[in-house]
């Protein structure tokens, strides 16, 4: 399947072409350039929703419940589960197949996990690429699920129109998430496993945190929603909040601004990736190993060594 | 204090110069180039120990206890507490002053937290710079403490000769850490708060995980140590394991290899930072905003836009 065939198949909603496209993204394949060029006129209509939160909080159960809710409204959904830690564990997420089964035979659902195989630029580069493929393939809603706590998550959430941050009672997660800066990227806060002890306290705590935020009347205040994703309780309300957030963003011109900002970052990430690659290409020619030896022995410093590397780039 | 004065003061162990140097690192100040060049011949003798693990596990208590143990052996210690999430929270770590007090008046101890103020390249760039300053200032041991779970932590741990990964009973941390790939960077595993319920189970679980790792007879097997950092229990053993690990590394030539690899990464990070900066300099000239609009409207794709940006770089 060459690039132009993949593009035309993708535009016909071909699932095999889509799976192949995402594998190309994981492997940072050179064909992506031609593919992205062919898809460009057909992107921009999907709504993206980011789902994030610490491990064990129920992200995949929640995204499953959201898929069911969206399907019952007749909307098609793609779920992209992104694992920022995978350069180390080196595999796709568990439970992927289990989840696929639940919606198998439904052509309006596509679920796929994505790992960054340690390639240059990593997931900040790969996530928007995969979203473009899913968007061009015609899905109405793209759910981006991320694992982990911290910067990687924050980076990936930046690719969504609406970011839902999940917590659960009794894990101290709310506070930890706040510490890790995750709260600051939340458009909606969901307390999952809300049938457990301590759920009310977690909701209250989060509401207080939100209330302490800057008080701009026009600004969207992240609502705090209780869910029991396993039974589906509260998921309808969560989806309603997502709709409301996207409506608010659209009306305020913020949706456009976010997408513009994302396009800027995407362009810069690709340009930087190309520069990284050029640097990697001249590494041995510039004698990086010798330079590293000079730095460890103290006969040179890292800046002078970097200059030598950059000189090689310009030659 | 200009660069050459800062260098000569640093080499005389001047604490104010050291504090100023680290602030320059946080702010990615241009003077660093001259400073690193002046310090280069005086680096390479400190041993670095990384301390990492999820929030609440007792990292600062453990590093405090290690400081006390090292001081009683007559070794000088600098503690660098790195907060990868700080581009969002924007501040130094809490408890910094409290900790300073405990060792105040002891010229053989220096404690400092460092935030990356969102500058290009972030902490992967800043951490080795700060370690160079502390090394040149003559500290025997450098403890690098990091907050958070996940990639940022893994990156920072890569700067240490020996990495200690902390867990605590009953937080499910051991399993989470394994998931996040943190276990794979551990040279030593410490179960802190070992006087709590479930400590033995955590130790057992970790030992099983280690045992499941690749079985190469020559390879260092991460030992699992129980500590109660608050009372100092087990901290002597932990330090003994650190010594043993460094001895093993030295004998196997691995210390040299790690330091060589770090120097390579440091050089490349600086070169890449310079390229990022060049890219940032041509952004508006190349019309990045127009390019982003073209991409969001679908009239261009991110690769073609990145090409335009790169062309501007070469002009």
Burial of B12 (0-12, 13-18, 19+ CB in 10 A): exposed
Phi then psi for residue A154, to 5 deg, are -60, -45
CATH fold for domain A43-251: Rossmann fold (3.40.50)
pLDDT at A87: 40
Average pLDDT of the segment spanning A11-25: 94
The yes-or-no verdict on residue B239 having pLDDT over 80 is: yes
HSE at residue B214, side-chain half, CA atoms within 13 A, is: 5
Phi then psi for residue B163, to 5 deg, are -110, 125
Q: Do B298 and A151 touch (CB under 8 A)?
A: no
Q: A108-159: per-residue pLDDT in tens?
A: 999 988 875 544 455 667 889 999 999 999 999 999 988 655 555 666 667 8
Q: Does B42 touch chain A (CB under 8 A)?
A: yes
pLDDT at A90: 34
The yes-or-no verdict on residue A51 having pLDDT over 70 is: yes
Average pLDDT of the segment spanning A250-256: 93
pLDDT at A120: 45
Paired tokens of A160: 């969504």
Distance of CA B60 to the CA centre of its chain: 14
Q: Chain B partners of A30 at a C-beta cutoff of 8 Å?
A: none
What is the value of ipTM here, to two decimals? 0.84
A46 or B26, which is more confident: A46
The three-state (H, E, C) secondary structure of B8-32, written as one string: HHHHCCCHHHHHHHHHHHHCCCCCH
Q: Is the dihedral of CA A65, A68, A72, A77 positive or negative?
A: positive
User: Of B111, B182, B127, whose CA–CA distance to B159 is shortest?
Assistant: B127
* Beta strands in chain B, from DSSP E residues, in sequence order: 47-52, 77-83, 109-115, 141-146, 162-167, 188-191, 224-226
Is residue B6 within 8 A of residue B33, CB to CB? The reply is: no
Is residue B134 within 8 A of residue B78, CB to CB? The reply is: yes
Phi then psi for residue A128, to 5 deg, are -60, -30
Q: B73-98: per-residue pLDDT in tens?
A: 999 999 998 865 544 333 344 455 55
The yes-or-no verdict on residue A292 having pLDDT over 90 is: yes
Q: Does A248 touch chain B (CB under 8 A)?
A: no
Average pLDDT of the segment spanning B112-140: 80
User: Of A219, A216, A225, whose CA–CA distance to A189 is shortest?
Assistant: A225
- Best of A271, A276, A295 to mutate (most B CBs within 10 Å, chain B): A271
Grouping H, G, I as helix, E, B as strand and the rest as coil, residue B190 is: strand
pLDDT at A146: 81
CB pairs under 8 A between A and B: 213
pLDDT at B94: 47
Is residue B84 within 8 A of residue B148, CB to CB? The reply is: yes
- Best of A179, A284, A302, A314 to mutate (most B CBs within 10 Å, chain B): A302
Residues 6+ apart with CB under 8 A from B73: none
Banded pLDDT at A24 (limits 50, 70, 90): very high
User: How far, in Å, CA of A232 to CA of A178, rounded?
Assistant: 26
Q: Chain B partners of A305 at a C-beta cutoff of 8 Å?
A: 263, 267, 270
CA distance A116 to chain B (A): 12
Instruction: List the single residue in A88, A272, A283 with the smallest CB-CB distance to B181.
Output: A88
Is residue B5 within 8 A of residue B12, CB to CB? The reply is: no
Is residue B115 within 8 A of residue B86, CB to CB? The reply is: yes
pLDDT at A139: 97
Q: Does B257 touch chain A (CB under 8 A)?
A: no
pLDDT at A31: 94
User: How far, in Å, CA of A84 to CA of A96, rounded?
Assistant: 16
Q: Which H or E run includes A78?
A: strand A77-83
Which residue on chain A is closest to B283 by alpha carbon?
A268
User: How far, in Å, CA of B315 to CA of B297, rounded?
Assistant: 27
pLDDT at A89: 36
Per-domain boundaries in chain A: 43-251, 269-314
Residues 6+ apart with CB under 8 A from A35: A3, A6, A7, A10, A21, A24, A133
Bridge-based pairing of strands B224-226 and A162-167 is unpaired
pLDDT at A88: 36
Q: Do A267 and B305 touch (CB under 8 A)?
A: yes
Largest CA distance in chain A: 68
DSSP A148: S
pLDDT at A173: 53
CA distance B42 to chain A (A): 7
Which residue on chain A is closest to B32 by alpha carbon?
A303
Mean pLDDT of chain B: 85
Q: What percent of chain A has pLDDT over 90?
A: 55
pLDDT at A101: 64
pLDDT at A226: 96
pLDDT at B104: 74
Banded pLDDT at A94 (limits 50, 70, 90): very low
The CATH number fitting domain B43-252, selected from 2.40.110.10, 3.40.50.300, 3.40.50.1110, 3.20.20.70: 3.40.50.300
Q: A135-144: per-residue pLDDT in tens?
A: 999 999 999 9
């Amino acid at each position: 399947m060459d690039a132009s065939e993949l593009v035309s198949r993708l535009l016909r909603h071909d699932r095999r072409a889509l799976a192949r496209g995402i594998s190309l993204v994981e492997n940072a394949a050179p064909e992506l350039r031609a593919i992205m060029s062919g898809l460009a006129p057909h992107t921009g209509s999907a709504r993206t929703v980011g789902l994030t939160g610490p491990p064990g909080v129920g992200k995949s159960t929640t995204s499953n419940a959201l898929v069911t809710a969206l399907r019952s409204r007749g909307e098609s959904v793609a779920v992209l589960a992104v694992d920022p830690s995978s350069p180390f564990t080196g595999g796709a997420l568990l439970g992927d197949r289990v989840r696929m089964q639940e919606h198998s035979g439904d052509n309006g659902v596509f679920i796929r996990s994505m790992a960054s195989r340690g390639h240059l630029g990593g997931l900040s580069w790969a996530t928007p690429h995969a979203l473009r493929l899913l968007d061009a393939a015609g899905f109405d809603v793209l759910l981006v699920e991320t694992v982990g706590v911290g910067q990687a998550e924050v980076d990936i959430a930046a690719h969504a129109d609406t970011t839902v941050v999940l917590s659960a009672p009794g894990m101290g997660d709310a506070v930890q998430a706040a510490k890790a800066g995750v709260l600051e990227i939340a458009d909606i806060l969901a307390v999952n496993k809300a049938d457990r002890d301590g759920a009310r306290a977690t909701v209250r705590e989060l509401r207080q945190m939100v209330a302490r935020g800057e008080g701009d009347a026009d600004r969207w205040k992240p609502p705090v929603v209780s869910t029991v994703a396993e039974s589906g309780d509260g998921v309808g309300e969560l989806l309603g909040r997502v709709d409301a957030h996207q409506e608010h963003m659209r009306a305020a011109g913020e949706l456009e601004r976010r997408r513009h900002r994302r396009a800027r970052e995407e362009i810069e990430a690709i340009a930087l990736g190309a520069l990284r690659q050029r640097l990697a290409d001249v590494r041995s020619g510039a004698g990086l190993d010798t330079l590293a030896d000079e730095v460890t022995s103290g006969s040179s410093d890292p800046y002078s060594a970097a200059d030598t590397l950059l000189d090689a780039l310009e030659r």
